[in-house]
Structure 1
Amino acid sequence: MNALSDLFSLKGKTALVTGGAGYLGSEISITLAELGARVIIASRDIKKCKDKCNEINKQLGNDCDIHFLELDLMKKKSILHCFKQIDLQFGGLDILVNNAWSGNKNSFESITDEDWEYDINMSLNSVFYCIKRALPGLKKNKGVILNITSMYGHVAPDYRIYEGTEFTNPPSYGVAKAGVIQFTKYLASFLAPDHIRVNCLSPGPFPHEVTQHNQEFIKKISSKNPLNRIGKPHEIKGAVALLCTDASSYMTGQNICVDGGWSIW
């Protein structure tokens, strides 16, 4: 008998979360730590990672096993170095969560060639590079890959709720996230013989705190989904727990939408 508590346990597992100290990344990191995993938080802001580790330790108690590593996804040498450290210190990964993102707000008219290339490299190419580097350990451990995508990877932004460029979702973002969704399906097929499961999670409207100060904009995006509100960061925790544990052992190649119903209309 597989008890539910066993299916959702990550004891003895090692997980890496790119951008694991960010707005949604923090919730992913703490979810995996709560389930018993050794968690590695990685980004180019090493102080932010260290501070998040300390915060999670205080929240969960010093028994949790949480670490931080520097990882600049725009530099292949940094990616290679990070995964070498993981192999040496932890013997590879059981769980890889590709979550990190950074970029500029842009309309199609305002986006530059450089911004486009940056966004594609950050949101799509880095996922490829990280999975390539992590693959030997994931094969050995019959691991799990979770790619954090977006509702804008499978539906288009509604131009009526975006005015100017302050909050506009850039065209490069959705293109990159759509690519990650397809890449997820490809890997789910071709890594199945290695017993590696690959899924993605598409958050809906989870605007950062600074964006939430604009109540008019928040009202507009809230009205776009059936639940008539934006998401709270902790509301992705259930989907993360499902997709990273044996509770989803018969799921691969799926895109789970946590969007308040945004994409059903």
Structure 2
Amino acid sequence: MPHADRFALTGRTVFLSGAAGHLGRAMAIALAEAGAHLILNGRTAETLDALAAELKAQGHSAEVAVFDVGDLGASRQFFAGLKRLDVMINNAVSGLGPQAPGADPAQAFRGTLESGLVAVHENVVAAMPAFDAAVTAAGEASIINVTSIYAHTSPDPKVYEGSGMMSPPQYGATKAGLVQLTRYLAVTLAPRGIRANSLSPGIFPWDRVAIDKPGFVASVSARSPMGRPGLAEEIGGPTVFLASKASSYVTGSDLRVDGGWTAI
């Protein structure tokens, strides 16, 4: 097979949670351009429908699945009805926004762990028949768990000073657990032809953040070895790599897309 063809995802079904988010949208575009049929998952039908319509208008294949991946009943029902799943990308996590006055911090911590770690494991288990069908048809299946640089290092308070955007402790704790879960899945699922890898993005500010919080972007740029934050489209190539046969001998690995942030 020519090397360029190994990146193709034609005929592959990809489930992407958090599909309408900043990085989720960039992943969806890259995967669609590689030929995948996308199942765009999230909690807001309007944004998912708009993304699906945009992709279809460009000749790509996409459908929408509106449910919260943290709702295990809804997730199990969905995956039980799925005939084949070549790639699962676990990109969604909740409980990271500002807490309401009087809110229980422990509940926020538990909520993030449940949606970003427990739900990932349970949904992988629920999708096993669909993964097995993909392995029978195509020879392999792939799980991509989207983690973070904060699975590997602590956020620097100086970078976030005055921005109101400091990463909460439950985020890094959940993502670190997800890296280890990925390793476990890689080892236990390899005999079934299923690969599992994690993708650890660095800081990729929304366009609005760049406008509203230039001081934060300047702090990120000063801290980054590459002198700038990430651009959303720069997550697409690594995602396609891990989803495709270009990474057929890669499992149990963590790919850091951070501009060298964690190399310091």
**What is the TM-score of this pair, normalised by structure 1?**
0.91
Quote the residue 1:67 is aligned against: 63
Shift of 1:5: 2.7
Question: Does residue 178 in structure 1 map to residue 176 in structure 2?
Answer: yes
Letter in 1 for 2:94: S
Question: Does residue 196 in structure 1 map to residue 190 in structure 2?
Answer: no
Please show how residues 34-113 of structure 1 align to structure 2 within 5 Å: 34-58=33-57, 60-61=58-59, 64-85=60-81, 87=82, 91-105=83-97, 112-113=105-106
Supply the distance in 1 between the matched residues of 2:51 and 2:97 (Cα, whole angstroms): 26
SS in 1 for 2:200: strand
Shift of 1:240: 0.8
Per-residue CA distance 1:121-159 (angstroms, 9 max, x = gap): 121112112211111211232211011110001111112
Question: Does residue 237 in structure 1 map to residue 230 in structure 2?
Answer: no
- Give me the CA root mean square deviation: 1.7
How many aligned residue pairs are there?
255
Quote the residue 1:148 is aligned against: 146
Shift of 1:111: 7.3
Supply the distance in 2 between the matched residues of 1:5 and 1:111 (Cα, whole angstroms): 51
Per-residue CA distance 1:45-67 (angstroms, 9 max, x = gap): 11211111011222x22xx2110
Supply the distance in 2 between the matched residues of 1:262 and 1:38 (Cα, whole angstroms): 33
Question: Quick check: 2:80–2:127 contact (8 Å CA) kept in 1?
Answer: no
Quote the residue 1:9 is aligned against: 8
Letter in 2 for 1:80: R
**What is the TM-score of this pair, normalised by structure 2?**
0.91
Supply the distance in 2 between the matched residues of 1:19 and 1:13 (Cα, whole angstroms): 19
Letter in 2 for 1:78: A
Supply the distance in 1 between the matched residues of 2:158 and 2:164 (Cα, whole angstroms): 14
Supply the distance in 2 between the matched residues of 1:111 and 1:217 (Cα, whole angstroms): 28
Structure 1 residues 124-133 or 186-195, which shifts more? 124-133
Any unmatched runs of 5+ in structure 2? 136-140
Letter in 1 for 2:156: D
Per-residue CA distance 1:104-123 (angstroms, 9 max, x = gap): 3469xx97111111111121
Supply the distance in 1 between the matched residues of 2:198 and 2:109 (Cα, whole angstroms): 23
SS in 2 for 1:144: strand
Q: Give the percent of matched residue pairs that are identical in Structure 1 and Structure 2.
A: 35
Question: Quick check: 1:57–1:66 contact (8 Å CA) kept in 2?
Answer: yes
Per-residue CA distance 1:152-200 (angstroms, 9 max, x = gap): 0111111222336820100000000000100001111010110101111
Quote the residue 1:158 is aligned against: 156
Shift of 1:210: 3.3
Any unmatched runs of 5+ in structure 1? none
Question: Quick check: 1:27–1:234 contact (8 Å CA) kept in 2?
Answer: yes
Supply the distance in 2 between the matched residues of 1:135 and 1:223 (Cα, whole angstroms): 44
Quote the residue 1:126 is aligned against: 119
Supply the distance in 2 between the matched residues of 1:239 and 1:66 (Cα, whole angstroms): 20
Letter in 2 for 1:159: P
Shift of 1:101: 2.5
